[in-house]
Structures are given as C-alpha cells and as structure tokens.
Amino acid sequence: GDSVTQMEGPVTLSEEAFLTINCTYTATGYPSLFWYVQYPGEGLQLLLKATKADDKGSNKGFEATYRKETTSFHLEKGSVQVSDSAVYFCALSDQEGTSYDKVIFGPGTSLSVIP
Amino acid sequence: DTAVSQTPKYLVTQMGNDKSIKCEQNLGHDTMYWYKQDSKKFLKIMFSYNNKELIINETVPNRFSPKSPDKAHLNLHINSLELGDSAVYFCASSQDMLAGDPSTDTQYFGPGTRLTVL
C-alpha cells in the first residue's frame, strides 16, 4: 500500500538557518502531495501542496517540489524563524483503486528554532 | 468563525467510563474524519465518513463508535475507556474524498481533544 516516510526529528536550528525536511513516498497511482504544519497545542493546517509532477508548492517562505523520478517532496525554507517551531507532516492523497481518495500522513518531524 | 470545532478540549476520566467527543464543521464539506495522535505525534486515521456514510474504518477497537447525525457533525463515542486510549483526538473535514479531484482533498483540522484516562 501507499506510504510516506519523513526524516526523523527532532530538528534543532538557529534562527535564519536553512531548513530541509526530507519526505519520500510510495504510491500505486498519481498522488497529490501535501505538507501540513502543527503548531504547539493546535490542530494541523495545510502549509502547501502539489498535485502533479514538477509542481512547486509554496507558502510563508516554504517550498516543496513534486519529484516523480525520486518520489520525493522535500520541504525547504531559506531562513527559519522562531515562529516556525512546530511539527511538520508530509502527506499524500491517492485513489488506491477505489472510488475514494485516501490520505496518508507521514510520522511528522519536530522542528525547534532557537534565537 | 471556527471552521472545525470540537468539544470538549480536555477530557479527564476514569478507566472503564464511557465518554463522547463532538465535532462540527461549518465549511459545507461532505467528508469528515477522526484521527488519534499519540504522545510521539504519530497521527493515525480512525474513521472517515462521506455524506454520513462510513467509508474508512481502520483497525480500531469496537469500543469506538462514530456517529454522523448529518454531514456537518461527526461524533465519537468511546465505551469502557482504557489507559491506552489517552491521546489527542482530532476531527477533520474535507470538501469530499471522491477519487480524481485532488483539489477537494485538503483537510481542515479541529483544535483537538486531549483525552486522559486515569
């Protein structure tokens, strides 16, 4: 079945450092790919998404490119801030041979940004 | 206006009790979900309803019973609570989950209900 793998955390960075959180997936179809962010004490919220190969999703300075050849959707930000401290979830949505799409979340990567 | 709301936000109860968590969405979405998040932040889907019809029912003990009185509400009832049920439970909704239209798959999460079983 489909699956999502993320780099293990926690990740600790200094403010203004470059961020990469790796995400790779396996899917039977042509999935859509998502990054969700969970700030402390809150529910998840969509950060960005890409629906087909070579699409780039971007939001709040974060970017991720849908790479079909490497089955990856790595999250990047050029300069992180303390307010980016959160847990980041990579996810995919795939049909999996049914009438419905199924969304699968990765295990999450915790990011702490220190001043 | 809150898009997806859950009540209560915190729930502390004794082992063996029965409790319910309520969820409502005002987004006009057709699909609603329940997730369980453990202490390591791992998110596991429990149930999914589309237009009040149960679509996904993962391997969850039958002590957990979802109920959808209408497509804007999805409640979770838990019987005979156990210590291992302690977690944060999230409700979510999406426009629909019909295959072939990824634009409708984005999920909107509630703030979570932290359940502690003593």
| Per-residue model confidence as pLDDT tens digits over B54-67 | 887 787 899 999 99
Structure tokens at A100: 């419905």
Structure tokens at B87: 């977690």
Q: Is B7 helix (H, G, I), strand (E, B) or coil?
A: strand
- Residue B102 is nearest to which of A45, A51, A100, comparing CB atoms? A51
Whether the pLDDT of residue B17 is over 80: the answer is yes
Q: How many whole angstroms separate alpha carbon B110 and alpha carbon B24?
A: 9
- Give the model's pLDDT for residue A12: 97
Query: How many helices and strands (H and E) does chain B possess?
Result: 0, 11
% of residues, chain B, pLDDT over 70 = 97
Contacts of B66 (CB under 8 A, 6+ apart): B34, B46, B47, B49, B54, B74, B75, B76, B77
- Give the model's pLDDT for residue B94: 92
- Give the model's pLDDT for residue A98: 66
CB-based contact B99 A103, cutoff 8 Å = no
Nearest residue on chain B to A88, alpha-carbon basis: B41
CB-based contact A99 B50, cutoff 8 Å = no
Q: Is B93 helix (H, G, I), strand (E, B) or coil?
A: strand
Weakly modelled stretches of chain A, pLDDT under 70? 96-98
- Give the model's pLDDT for residue B110: 96
